[in-house]
Amino acid sequence: MQEFWEMHNFDLYSILCPTKIDNYFKKNGLLFKKGDIIYFPEDEEQKLFLVSRGKVKLCKYNADGEEMVKMILSKGEIFGEKVLLGQDKREEYAIAEGNDTALCLLSIDKMQNLMRKNERFGLYIYKLIGLRVKKIERRLEILVCKDAELRLLEFVKDLFEGNFKDEQTVKHHYSQNDIAKLIGTSRETVSKSMSKYKKMNILDYTRSTITLLDKDNYVALLEEEG
């Protein structure tokens, strides 16, 4: 699962010159306010999107109107990539999470051209499609857990998988509100739990990193909650 998180945190700006992105955005950019719907399930537009600024939430709603957040994406990440496999309809809602969210619109032809010209980018796209499916499956497994703290611990476990040791730090782009949406709880619960784990000298959360302070106590807590 660590491979997924490495791919998930892949920044398109690291392989494409920011100047090229800026020039492309002038011709193909889209601006959204928080809550604006970028696309709906069953939409048939054959385009991909690059997050240039802000955040985007990919989600579904059940028959009772309850939201299930599949992903929260930030600058440099793409979505709608399944059109490259011939998918002709969207499977979820894409909703702007930031008040000033900017997206670049990428056609299938342009994406395929970029993939041919940049081997690393092409490899990323092929891996991304498969690994995101695994990530969604894992997210559903976590949501089955009835206890919110256990869902939070499992979420953190996924971030550290494959690199699990004392004083290990992983980078992320998730606010406490983002995490709450992803694990189906409130921001207050996430904040309270993270504060408790820091006092217990187990985890240290910031807006850009999470540090595992004590592996043994974390594993023991995970087993106890499970």
Evaluate whether 94 touches 36 at the Cβ level (below 8 Å): no
Quick one: pLDDT at residue 160?
Answer: 81
If DSSP codes are grouped into helix, strand and coil, which group holds residue 122?
Answer: helix
Euclidean distance between CA atoms 167 and 140, whole angstroms:
29
Quick one: pLDDT at residue 11?
Answer: 56
Quick one: pLDDT at residue 226?
Answer: 64
- Residues with pLDDT less than 50, the chain: 1-9, 17
Q: Which domains does the chain show, CATH number per domain?
A: 2-142 (2.60.120.10), 145-225 (2.60.120.10)
The type of residue at 112 is Q
Quick one: pLDDT at residue 168?
Answer: 86
The 10s digit of each residue's pLDDT in 19-51 is: 555 566 566 668 999 999 999 999 987 888 888
